[in-house]
Amino acid sequence: MCRPRQLNPLFALKDFGFHRRLRIVRNHLGEARRILDIGANDGQMLSELCRQTGKDYFPVALEAGFGALKSFAGAAICASADAIPIRDGFFDYVVCSASRKHIRNSLALAKEAYRVLRPGGKFLVIDPCAVIVRIGLRIGKFDRRYLHHVPNRSEIRAELKGAGFESVRVRGVAFVQVIGIKVG
């Protein structure tokens, strides 16, 4: 006799979150071809983006440790987000999805994103809202030792402005979305 599969609500929420962030990234891509994912973990975001859109992207995954990127088929860089080893103006689009909260110096992250973007390029920061982060802490999804920021729209917006982004838009409810455009 077949029994219905029991879904773990934590995994269902995580899966929903990933697909929601993927949709947000896809909606803001425009004509971008060279894409950097900061804090790419296992590269799943870039892999899914390429698979779903069928476009010919040049995806680059940046992660502090290569362990997570072993299965990623694209270009991978093992480096810190505050010292990206890429030449100035190389990327059309930089995304930091569900990773900013784990990066100690998030202003340096924003400055590096600005540096590696071409003029007209976009930097998209997506993080779960503060309420979701607090729930995640309570249920053990997040480890407080690696959580350096509770996402805050105005703080992220100020960081992007401080890094040089001239056009900054803020969106989102469940996920904080801050989009900066490198003008000029």
> What pLDDT sits at residue 175?
84
| Amino acid occupying residue 79 | A
Considering only 17-31, 74-88, 129-143, which range has the smallest mean pLDDT? Answer: 129-143
Instruction: For residue 12, give both structure tokens.
Output: 């269902």
Question: Pairing relation of β-strands 167-171 and 175-181?
Answer: antiparallel
Q: What is the mean pLDDT of residues 90-110?
A: 91
Considering only 49-53, 124-128, 140-144, 171-175, which range has the smallest mean pLDDT? Answer: 140-144
Q: What is the mean pLDDT of residues 155-180?
A: 88
Please give the domain boundaries of the chain with CATH numbers for all domains: 9-181 (3.40.50.150)
> What pLDDT sits at residue 67?
63
CA–CA gap between residue 25 and residue 166 (Å, rounded): 20
> What pLDDT sits at residue 19?
87
Cβ–Cβ under 8 Å, residues 18 and 49: no
